[in-house]
């Protein structure tokens, strides 16, 4: 033993960088001064403010943010813009601006003010708090029990150049009600849109949620979605990402009662230096639930794709059916895909599987098609389209599916 | 019409075709037989323009034009068709879409008018009937879930649709039951035409009873070692290749 014993003190290394939030904090006092709603909402905002002040924005030092660095892209934004949220009028759907519904309707207030953030490392709550801190713009959507809504509800969220935006959505699908929502994001210019969506599907309710993310190639898009599905409820999501310079899609689904089901389908088509991150956590909190995550990624040029998907099966959740598959195709040498599929299982009688593949477009089908006279570019487009189209199979309406395929073809033609 | 002169081709630095000379005049049917691994499929791929083969010597002329620099789709438009020994499955691409895209791509390159949905469907129905291919099969993805025999019939359907001037059939008879063999052979014979040539690769004389060739070539170890008429195939059926290649069968 050595004679001298020195106790070393290591500095605590924090993954948080409070200074990264400086710009987005700057406008808060002026913003809050303009809001004259309720003490509860002030509390919500202050809680968000405190969290963001202490933790800064998410950096790649954080577990769960290893592959995605939004800091350089959001650095310039210090002005909060106003989002123009609009939707079509659909019989059976009550859609209202949040500022109104949050004071008039208890369920909206509960959903926004009482929702808990996740403690899972992938589903970091910073951007959630950033959204709460600037709570104002957004929409609430309500479908009363037993209402079968045939016509899809289309929502547009418009942003302008040069600012950052915060948008909230609160969606409730009543017992045995059904609804299809189509979100179409086509913002122009350079902006940052940070979203927080709360969705609740009551027993026997069905929600099909289609998100088309085609914001400008200079935009930053971050979204947090929290979904709760009750007994025999279905949440079907289909997302098509072709837009934004950088996007982070953080989706947290809780299957809380037997028979709840969620299918999360996503396709990401990236080129140039685009970056697209889909991070999912599905929690099975009751027996006999089913979850299915299906991701298709096409990466050209120097684009970068990220898929982090986790299925967390709690001890009580026997007879769980949990499935997860990510398939990516790299079209160029410079493209990169990072995948982190995870299963965390505490029940013993479950059926779970996961898989992830990353590869190139196969030579054999290419040659087969070309030998039939189909030019290389067209053969490639057909193969890519069919690769992506698999995840649209869930979409019931022929018209909507065709609309999604049109967008894929549009991307391929560029 | 097809002239192959002293063709040498290698893959990954390994020479597979070692000086092939072969001429198929317009309107003739030639058969190629030969042991496994002798280079028959390689020859068919090189004709169709598959990547990865290094042509070290020789040339391929189609109607007097050198096609070696042409992309596979350009060769298809120029009239080359290859029925694959192992037809490729393409999940997600529906047969009908595939056929229509191919036909119109070829027509466009040939300077012909593209077919609209109705005319295309009429043509497809006609050809499909001749080859006993069900509607259900054409609703599926290309070759996905097709039986071995269905895949081969599907190759012939594509050939019938694309109307090539040089059709290379690589073991299209393998895996066919007796009835299917008859259907496929009838399909091929229906396409025999003074303006169309065939190169039929097969292991079995049986096929040549139906599709009677003008000439039979034996390919062994990357070279054509013997050429004869339809009788040669019958002899080979009895004697095997041992006598020709000098190796034990
Ligand atoms: N990609 C490759 N790399 C290396 N060798 C190859 C490759 N493709 C083919 N070969 C070799 O080339 C030779 C000829 O193969 P080919 O498929 O042309 O034979 P074949 O005459 O068609 O045989 P079969 O009667 O079994 O169909 C074989 O020895 C095969 O192993
Ligand atoms: Mg072969």
Nearest CB partner across the interface for B73, out of A376, A385, A390: A376
Share of chain A above pLDDT 90, in %: 91
Q: What number is the average pLDDT over the span A261-270?
A: 97
A319, A307, A211: which is closest to A260 by C-alpha? A319
Please report which confidence band the pLDDT of residue A12 belongs to, taking 50, 70 and 90 as the band edges.
Answer: low
A203, A280, A266, A201: which is closest to A235 by C-alpha? A201
Residue B14 near ligand 1, beta carbon < 6 Å: yes
pLDDT confidence of residue A50: 96
Judge whether residue A4 has pLDDT over 60: no
How far apart (Å, rounded) are the C-alpha atoms in residues A309 and A305? Answer: 13
pLDDT confidence of residue B180: 87
Long-range contact pairs involving A97-102 (C-beta distance under 8 Å, separation at least 24): A97/A138, A97/A139, A97/A140, A98/A135, A98/A136, A98/A137, A98/A138, A98/A139, A98/A140, A98/A168, A98/A169, A98/A170, A99/A37, A99/A136, A101/A140, A101/A170, A102/A37, A102/A41, A102/A140, A102/A170
The answer for residues whose C-beta is within 8 angstroms of residue A8's C-beta and 6 or more apart is: none
pLDDT confidence of residue A13: 77
The predicted-structure confidence for A18-60, as pLDDT tens digits, reads as follows: 999 999 999 999 999 999 888 999 999 999 999 999 999 999 9
pLDDT confidence of residue B39: 96
User: In Å, how far from its chain's centre is CA A96?
Assistant: 22
Q: What number is the average pLDDT over the span B211-225?
A: 95
B98: contact with A, CB 8 A cutoff: yes
Helices (H), B49-147: 72-78, 95-109, 117-130, 135-139
**Contact residues on chain A for B87, CB-CB shorter than 8 A:** 368
Interface size between A and B, measured as CB pairs under 8 A = 78
Judge whether residue A120 has pLDDT over 80: yes
pLDDT confidence of residue B249: 38
Judge whether residue A312 has pLDDT over 60: yes
CA of B203 to the centre of ligand 1 (A): 15
Asked if A95 contacts A139 with a C-beta cutoff of 8 angstroms, the reply is yes
Judge whether residue B247 has pLDDT over 60: no
pLDDT confidence of residue B248: 42
φ/ψ of residue A281, rounded to 5: -130, 120
φ/ψ of residue B152, rounded to 5: -70, -40
| Cα distances (angstroms) measured from residue A39 to each of A35, A43, A103, A271 | 10, 6, 11, 46
Judge whether residue A8 has pLDDT over 70: no
B2-242 has which fold?
Rossmann fold (3.40.50)
**Contact residues on chain B for A374, CB-CB shorter than 8 A:** 73, 101-102, 105
The answer for residues whose C-beta is within 8 angstroms of residue A169's C-beta and 6 or more apart is: A98, A138, A139, A140, A141, A155, A195, A196, A197, A198, A199
How far apart (Å, rounded) are the C-alpha atoms in residues B197 and B200? Answer: 10
Joined tokens for residue A214: 């085609």
Q: What number is the average pLDDT over the span B172-184?
A: 89
Give chain B's largest Cα–Cα span. 57
Nearest CB partner across the interface for B73, out of A363, A374, A387: A374
Judge whether residue B240 has pLDDT over 90: no
The predicted-structure confidence for A162-186, as pLDDT tens digits, reads as follows: 999 999 999 999 999 999 999 999 9
Q: What number is the average pLDDT over the span A205-223?
A: 96
Please report which confidence band the pLDDT of residue A5 belongs to, taking 50, 70 and 90 as the band edges.
Answer: low
CB spacing of B50 vs A367 below 8 angstroms? yes
Judge whether residue B203 has pLDDT over 70: yes
Choose one of B9, B10, B13, B16 to mutate for the ligand 1 pocket test, by most ligand atoms within 8 angstroms of C-beta.
Answer: B16
The predicted-structure confidence for A58-96, as pLDDT tens digits, reads as follows: 999 998 999 999 999 999 899 999 999 999 999 999 999
pLDDT confidence of residue B246: 62
How far apart (Å, rounded) are the C-alpha atoms in residues A309 and A17? Answer: 25
Extents of the domains making up chain A: 18-360, 362-414
Judge whether residue A345 has pLDDT over 50: yes
Judge whether residue B243 has pLDDT over 80: no
Please report which confidence band the pLDDT of residue B187 belongs to, taking 50, 70 and 90 as the band edges.
Answer: confident
How far apart (Å, rounded) are the C-alpha atoms in residues B80 and A373? Answer: 9
- Say which range, A3-12, A203-212, A275-284, has the weakest mean pLDDT: A3-12
Share of chain A above pLDDT 70, in %: 97
How far apart (Å, rounded) are the C-alpha atoms in residues A247 and A227? Answer: 20
Quick one: CA dihedral B221, B222, B224, B229, positive or negative? positive
pLDDT confidence of residue A393: 83
Judge whether residue A339 has pLDDT over 90: yes
Find which of B88, B109, B144 to mutate to test the A interface (most A CBs within 10 Å of its CB): B88
pLDDT confidence of residue A10: 58
Average pLDDT, chain B: 93
Judge whether residue B117 has pLDDT over 80: yes
CB spacing of A373 vs B106 below 8 angstroms? yes
- Render the burial of B83-97: b for 16+ CB within 10 Å, e for the rest: bbbebbbbebbbbbb
């Amino acid at each position: 033993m050595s004679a001298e014993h020195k106790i070393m003190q290591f500095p605590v290394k924090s993954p948080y960088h409070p200074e990264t939030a400086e710009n987005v904090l700057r406008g808060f006092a002026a913003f809050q001064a303009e809001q004259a709603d309720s003490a509860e909402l002030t509390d919500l905002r202050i809680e968000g403010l405190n969290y963001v002040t202490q933790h800064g924005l998410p950096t790649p030092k954080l577990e769960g943010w290893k592959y995605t660095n939004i800091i350089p892209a959001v650095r310039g934004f210090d002005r909060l813009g106003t989002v123009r949220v609009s939707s079509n009028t659909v019989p059976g759907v009550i859609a209202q601006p949040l500022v109104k519904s949050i004071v008039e309707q208890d369920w909206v207030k509960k959903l926004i003010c009482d929702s808990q953030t996740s403690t899972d490392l992938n589903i970091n709550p910073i951007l959630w708090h950033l959204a709460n801190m600037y709570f104002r713009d957004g929409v609430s959507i309500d479908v009363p029990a037993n209402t079968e809504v045939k016509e899809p509800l289309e929502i547009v969220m418009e942003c302008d150049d040069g600012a950052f935006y915060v948008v909230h959505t609160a969606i409730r699908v009543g017992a045995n009600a059904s609804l299809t929502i189509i979100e179409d994001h086509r913002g122009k210019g350079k902006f940052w849109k940070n979203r927080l969506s709360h969705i609740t599907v009551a027993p026997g309710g069905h929600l099909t949620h289609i998100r088309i993310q085609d914001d400008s190639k200079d935009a930053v898009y971050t979204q947090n979605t929290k979904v709760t599905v009750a007994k025999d409820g279905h949440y079907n999501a289909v997302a098509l990402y072709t837009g934004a310079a950088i996007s982070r899609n953080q989706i947290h689904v809780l299957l809380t009662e037997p028979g709840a089901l969620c299918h999360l389908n996503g396709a990401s088509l990236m080129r140039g230096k685009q970056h697209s991150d889909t991070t999912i956590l599905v929690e099975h909190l009751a027996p006999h639930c089913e979850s299915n995550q299906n991701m298709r990624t096409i990466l050209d040029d120097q684009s970068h794709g990220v898929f982090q998907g986790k299925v967390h099966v709690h001890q009580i959740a026997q007879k769980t059916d949990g499935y997860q598959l990510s398939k990516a195709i790299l079209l160029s040498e410079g493209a990169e895909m990072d995948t982190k599929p995870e299963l965390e299982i505490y029940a013993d009688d479950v059926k779970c599987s996961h898989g992830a593949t990353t590869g190139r477009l196969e030579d054999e089908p290419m040659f087969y098609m070309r030998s039939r006279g189909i030019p290389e570019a067209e053969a490639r487009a057909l193969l890519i389209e069919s690769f992506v189209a698999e995840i649209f199979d869930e979409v019931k309406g022929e018209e909507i599916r065709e609309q999604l395929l049109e967008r894929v073809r549009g991307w391929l033609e560029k | 019409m097809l002239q192959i002169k002293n063709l040498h081709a290698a893959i990954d630095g390994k020479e597979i075709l070692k000086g092939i000379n072969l001429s198929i005049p317009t309107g003739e049917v030639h058969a190629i037989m030969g042991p496994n691994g002798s280079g028959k499929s390689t020859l068919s791929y090189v004709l169709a323009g598959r990547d990865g083969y290094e042509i070290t010597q020789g040339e391929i002329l189609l109607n007097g034009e050198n096609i070696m620099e042409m992309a596979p789709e350009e060769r298809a438009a120029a009239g080359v068709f290859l029925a694959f020994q192992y037809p490729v499955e393409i999940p997600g691409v529906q047969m009908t879409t595939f056929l229509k895209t191919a036909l119109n791509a070829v027509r466009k390159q040939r300077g012909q008018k593209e077919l609209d949905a109705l005319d295309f469907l009429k043509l497809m129905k006609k050809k499909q009937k001749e080859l006993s291919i069900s509607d259900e099969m054409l609703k599926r993805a290309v070759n996905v879930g097709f039986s071995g025999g269905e895949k081969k019939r599907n190759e012939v359907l594509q050939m019938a649709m694309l109307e090539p001037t040089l059709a290379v059939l690589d073991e299209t008879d393998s895996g066919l039951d007796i009835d299917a063999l008859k259907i496929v052979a009838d399909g091929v014979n229906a396409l025999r035409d003074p303006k169309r040539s065939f190169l039929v690769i097969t292991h079995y004389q049986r096929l040549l009873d139906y599709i009677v060739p003008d000439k039979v070539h034996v390919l062994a170890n990357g070279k054509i070692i013997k050429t004869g008429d339809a009788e040669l195939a019958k002899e080979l059926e009895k004697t095997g290749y041992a006598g020709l290649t000098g190796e034990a069968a």
